[in-house]
A = this chain, B = another copy of it.
Amino acid sequence: MQRKGASRRRGEALELAILEAVWAEFSELGYLGLTMEGVAKRAGTSKPVLYRRWSTKVEMLIACIANRIPQAESVPDTGSLRGDMVALLTVARERMSVIGQTAMLGMLTEVSKDPEAREVLLGGLANELVNMVYQVIYRRSIERGELTEEQLTPRLLRLPTDLARNEFLLFGTISDEAVTSIVDEVILPALRARGASV
């Protein structure tokens, strides 16, 4: 289409240019306004080039986001479980804000038909946070002697991320008040009742 004088791109250079265009379109028009045609035009390429790589818009967007949010930044060691947890939820909020409410809902929608795709999505983005809960925050707390391994369950590991996600899917944002009430009224009490001294 465009790029008349330029040389023909291939491989990774092309792919990055496309993902760049995906992000630009997504940022300007939002998830609903994101179209294959628009991306192709913006990237100076054509639809078949996109469909050779991704078969749906969401798949493409997931690739784009995975490319933009490579690694989760670590959570600072605040010295207390409460502080760490607040910091984690803040990180979660920022990561979700980058994606946006509509896009998250859209991804879940696409992925709801295909359990395998769900694994990719949840395993890739959400589990990163869940793992951080377990491998960083709770581990620090165990080392401080506040928790024991046995007091933790898979459900408790998921809990912070689940509540943050729910809040974000409903309201498109996570207020400071939401963060503190989640931590102080749910997470910490649930741990205490299992014997933790947090």
* B-binding residues in A (CB < 8 A): 32, 101-102, 105-106, 108-109, 112-113, 118, 122, 153-156, 159, 162-163, 165-167, 169-172, 181-182, 185-186, 188-194
Q: Which residues of B contact A162 (CB under 8 A)?
A: 163, 166-167
Q: How far is the CA of A172 from the CA of B162 in the complex (A)?
A: 15
A193 & B189 in contact (Cβ 8 Å cutoff): yes
Q: How far is the CA of A169 from the CA of B121 in the complex (A)?
A: 14
The closest CB in chain B to the CB of A162 belongs to B166
- Give the secondary structure class of A's interface: helix
Q: CB-CB < 8 A to A170: which residues of B? A: 108, 118, 122
Please judge, given known A-B contacts A189-B190, A194-B189, whether A108 and B182 are in contact too, CB under 8 Å.
Answer: no
Distance in angstroms between the alpha carbons of A101 and B114 in the assembled complex: 12
A158 to chain B, nearest CB (A): 9
Q: Closest residue of chain B to A100, judged by CB?
A: B112
Residues of B within 8 A of A167 (CB): 162
